[in-house]
Amino acid sequence: MTALIRVKTWWTILRICLEERLVYRGDFALGTLMRFLPIVTQIFLWFAIFEAVKDARNADDISSISLSGYRYTEFVAYYLLTMLSRAFSSMPGLASGIARQIRDGEVKKYLIQPVDMLGFMLLGRIAHKVAYYSVAMGPFALVFFLCRNMFSGLPAEAATHSLTTLLAFLTSLVLGFVLGYFLEATIGLIGFWWLEVTSILFIYMLFSFFLSGHMFPLDMLPQPWSTLVDLLPLKYLAYFPSAVFLGKVSGAELVWGLTVEVLWIVFFVALSRWLYYRGIKRYSGFGG
Amino acid sequence: MSPTSHPANPERPQYLRVFLTFARNSLVRDMTFRVNFLIESVAALSWMIANLGFYLLIFTFTDSIGERTGWGQYEFFVFLATTMLVNSVVQAFFMPNAQEFSELIRTGGLDFALLKPIDTQFLISLQRVNWSSLINFVAGAILLAFSVYQLVTRADNPLHLTPAAIILYPLFVACGIAILYSLMVSLAATSIWLGRNQSLYDFWFYITNFSRYPMEIYNGTFGLPLRWFFTFIVPVLIVVNVPARVLAQPLRPDTSLGIAMGLFGIGATMFCLAASRFVFRRSLLSYRSASS
Amino acid sequence: MSIIEIENLTKTYRVYQKQEGLVASLRGLFRRQHREVEAVRGINLAVEEGEFVAFLGPNGAGKTTTLKLLSGVINPVSGTARVMGHIPWKRENAYRRRFALVMGQKNQLWWDLPAQESFRLHQQIYRIDPAQFERTRDELTDLLKVRDLLRQPVRELSLGERMKMELTAALLHSPDVLFLDEPTIGLDVVAQHNIQKFLKHYQAERNITILLTSHYMKDVAALCKRVVIITQGRIEYDGSLSGIIDSFSGHKIITLQFAQDDAIDNMDRFGDVLEREPPRAKIRVPRAAVAKTLAAILAEHMIEDVAVEDPPLEEVIADLYASVDDAQAARERPPAEDPVSQ
């Protein structure tokens, strides 16, 4: 019985979040459209670079050129895939939202009502993503369809050929969502100790932008940078799923990669729980 | 009515003095959160360093961006430095206000701005200054000086700096800043119509993203319409391209095109400023003031 | 000429009708249903210089909207208003220098800065002569007893102190007209009283014109000779505070102290019995019937003491709000379907 009630409560929360999302439709339509713009410039930039390299090497065609193991089409495919990964792992406004709620004292409501803040907000996020992508799926499908040529000529390990890779890719997307959520929630919870989290968030955004693989494939980096990036959890937010899809990570490396990702998730779940617990204690100690 | 009870000088408000007070108050505020200020400065700076790193990485694979476009490493770094100069000013003076604007609408705080006997757009768009962003202005200036020095002193085909370039560069940087300011004001004004506008910042980022690259990269079937669109409709390509070109590539074969671009840049700036003012005023008509 | 003249002022809002349920919300993405809400429906009002007028009315009656219209913050749908000869929503600087708006639920001072920094900004914006600025600021902060808090960041002030700072900020440029929207909301009794005292003193001394909205009858009773009651966007009453009872309450309350306890039992014949505490009773009697009823009671019973009073103001006003609500509901109810004709 209690389980059923719990599920019902969650469903209600989910539905409210979904409805709230849909009220702000202007925002919504704009956001969906805009998501596709940044990779456009990125693709143009790489095309210009490939052209310059072609010119310098006196090559006939850019298709014969590969930079750091990526052909031009693979670059495009990579950027499209990182978009998809980021669609799962990015959490706009989560950390700043938590910090704001702490600052404004809105966090009190989680002390009064029988809901868990992290759980409630996770549901909110899921609702956000579901609402967002139930509409954005169309444009996404269209772009991938138009760019289907970019996915031809991939190696046999790539998800276009292997079901196992496809499953691993989907798993890494979902794990990316969970990791992204708890990572940002952790940052937001620092707000219990630090009034303005914006600066920390800015640093996180900075690192995440460059070191998640959003900007360029991380395996292009020379040593020691590539090892450093490999040790951080950020690569799971964009680079890892895309690399899995393209068949750049396979076999034991893939299993190891996913295992480490799960470990990172466990770490951030624990850390965020602990911060929340300590933060609430500190907060009620203050007397609000 | 008692005409003696208010000040005797009902002429124009003193915009410069008010702006200086804004800047001063913002600095006082920043200094109360000193650690935060420091972190923000460092973060802003590292953002630029990371960007520079990305292009250093790219230039390990190629000598130039685009085929025979003249954007070699140091020419491009002049471009990058110009981007930093423009963006740091935008982030320091306009960005915090644009972000604040949708908040003012949501909370009804805009009411107070409308009461003040001073231009509302001025008040809304300039009342906060984010001093920490200006560190990138310094960084941009250093990168600019270094890159120009490299270009001028290189053995092969050194750059010759003309007085015209030195005069025109700051002028076009100012135009670029004005264009971005107009765009930002127009965007912020839309939050009166669209309600909560979380994606404002995203939108801003996506649009200005196009301005960060030399316009030559927008080529081919898809590129040319884009180049056209972002030059003539939403003229963000002018923002960095024109000043960077004036300084780093004054003697391109298509100089006449450069002159045309320059003239167009000035015209576009005027137009953008006027358009943003129009949009802002229109949006105020729709303001309905959140009830308490 | 009146300092404030309002004619047929009307303001409507379009409100997005949120649909219940998920499917309806999704549908709302593409097509929205709007509802016109009439916040102010053709208000006429004239206020003379030096008046202190209170706007009373239930939540959402249109009081705040009227103040916002008069401040030029929002534009009306139709009608005109002139304040000191200016049309507010033109937002001329000449007008904006001469009035102020204080809202109890919003603050305009910079949150993280000491109030004096915001004051200095006001001085620049309003171009107040520096010497006069300092004189006014010191005078106001002395009157409000917050002078020693000038250097403290606003976020560290109490609600009452903050309100006093807001008032100071609004009065720095010595406005001729002042709009106060629930200035004492959420304040404790002492702070409320202090602000009332200040406003009374300030208004009397400067003879400025003040419009005030408040839910606290104490504010109104202490400050305003003239009261305007607004409900459903219309003016229902305009006159003195005591006049409200004359116009809207047709009853008086008679309190009787009997000589014997048992006399109380059959009081129902004389009027509504409000209280029955032997040997005392309170009955409500139509105003016109007071003399006759009293005579009848006195003829039948031994009375030790008697008092005839007006009903409490709050009750009269609450009844008035409720009666307007009922009338509105009756007007908007769809006509009942006639089963015979179908």
CB-CB neighbors (< 8 A) of C65 in chain B:
291
Contact B112 C68 (CB under 8 A): no
- What distance in Å separates residue C338's CA from the closest CA in chain B? 42
Look over chain A and give the mean of its residue pLDDT values, rounded to a whole number. Answer: 82
Q: Tens of pLDDT along A34-71?
A: 677 777 888 888 888 888 888 888 877 777 788 888 88
Beta carbons of A214 and A238 less than 8 angstroms apart:
yes
Query: Is 70 exceeded by the pLDDT of residue B5?
Result: no
Cβ of residue B6 closer than 8 Å to a chain C Cβ: yes
The token pair at A48 is: 């210009």
Pairing of strands C272-277, C280-286: antiparallel
Q: What is the pLDDT of residue B275?
A: 93
CB-CB neighbors (< 8 A) of C175 in chain B:
6
> Helices marked H in chain A — which ranges?
2-23, 25-34, 37-57, 72-89, 94-104, 108-112, 117-146, 163-189, 198-211, 225-231, 239-245, 252-286
**Domain regions of chain A by residue span:** 2-286
Span between the terminal Cα atoms of chain A, in Å: 36
CB-CB neighbors (< 8 A) of C101 in chain B:
111-112, 115
Q: What is the pLDDT of residue C118?
A: 92
Question: Which candidate, C119, C5, C138, C131, places its Cα nearest to that of C69?
Answer: C5
Q: How confident is the model at residue A288 (pLDDT cuts 50, 70, 90)?
A: very low
Contact B66 A40 (CB under 8 A): no
- Which residue among A15, A28, A135 places its CB closest to the CB of C22? A15
CB-CB neighbors (< 8 A) of C100 in chain B:
115
Contact C22 A19 (CB under 8 A): yes
Q: Give domain C250-309's CATH number out of 3.40.50.720, 3.90.1510.10, 3.30.70.1150, 3.40.50.1000.
A: 3.30.70.1150
Cβ of residue C331 closer than 8 Å to a chain B Cβ: no
Q: How far is CA C199 from CA B3, C140, C271, in A?
A: 21, 11, 42
Query: Is 50 exceeded by the pLDDT of residue C160?
Result: yes
Considering the domain C4-245 in this protein, what is its CATH number? 3.40.50.300
Question: Among positive and negative, which fits the CA dihedral C227, C230, C231, C234?
Answer: positive
Beta carbons of A166 and A56 less than 8 angstroms apart:
no
Q: Which of A225-239, B255-269, C295-309 has the highest mean pLDDT?
A: A225-239
Q: Tens of pLDDT along B10-45?
A: 567 788 999 999 999 999 888 888 887 888 888 888
Cβ of residue B23 closer than 8 Å to a chain C Cβ: no
Give the chain A residue whose CA is nearest to the CA of C25. Answer: A19
Query: Is 80 exceeded by the pLDDT of residue A199?
Result: no
Q: What is the pLDDT of residue C309?
A: 86
CB-CB neighbors (< 8 A) of B112 in chain C:
101, 106, 108
Q: What is the pLDDT of residue C27?
A: 60
Q: How confident is the model at residue C339 (pLDDT cuts 50, 70, 90)?
A: very low
Q: What is the pLDDT of residue C341?
A: 36
Cβ of residue C302 closer than 8 Å to a chain A Cβ: no
Cβ within 8 Å of C, B 92-121 = 107-112, 114-118, 120
Question: Which residue shows structure tokens 């003195």?
Answer: C240
**Domain regions of chain C by residue span:** 4-245, 250-309
φ/ψ (deg, to 5) at A213: 95, 10
ipTM score for this prediction:
0.82
Q: Tens of pLDDT along C173-223?
A: 999 999 999 998 888 889 899 999 999 999 999 999 999 998 888 888 888
Contact B64 A47 (CB under 8 A): no
Cβ within 8 Å of C, A 5-64 = 15, 18-19, 22-23, 25, 28
Contact B18 C121 (CB under 8 A): yes
Q: How confident is the model at residue B215 (pLDDT cuts 50, 70, 90)?
A: confident
**Mean predicted confidence (pLDDT) in C153-158:** 88
- What distance in Å separates residue B94's CA from the closest CA in chain C? 18
DSSP C141-205: HHHTT-GGGTTSBGGGS-HHHHHHHHHHHHHTT--SEEEEESTTTT--HHHHHHHHHHHHHHHHH
Beta carbons of B208 and B278 less than 8 angstroms apart:
no
Distance CA A218, CA A222 (A): 9
Helix axes B200-209, A37-57, angle to 10 degrees: 20
Higher pLDDT, B260 or C25: B260
Q: What is the pLDDT of residue C57?
A: 86
The token pair at A159 is: 């998800």
Q: How confident is the model at residue C167 (pLDDT cuts 50, 70, 90)?
A: very high
Beta carbons of C165 and C146 less than 8 angstroms apart:
yes
Q: What is the pLDDT of residue B7?
A: 46
Q: Which amino acid is at C55?
A: F
Higher pLDDT, C142 or C287: C142
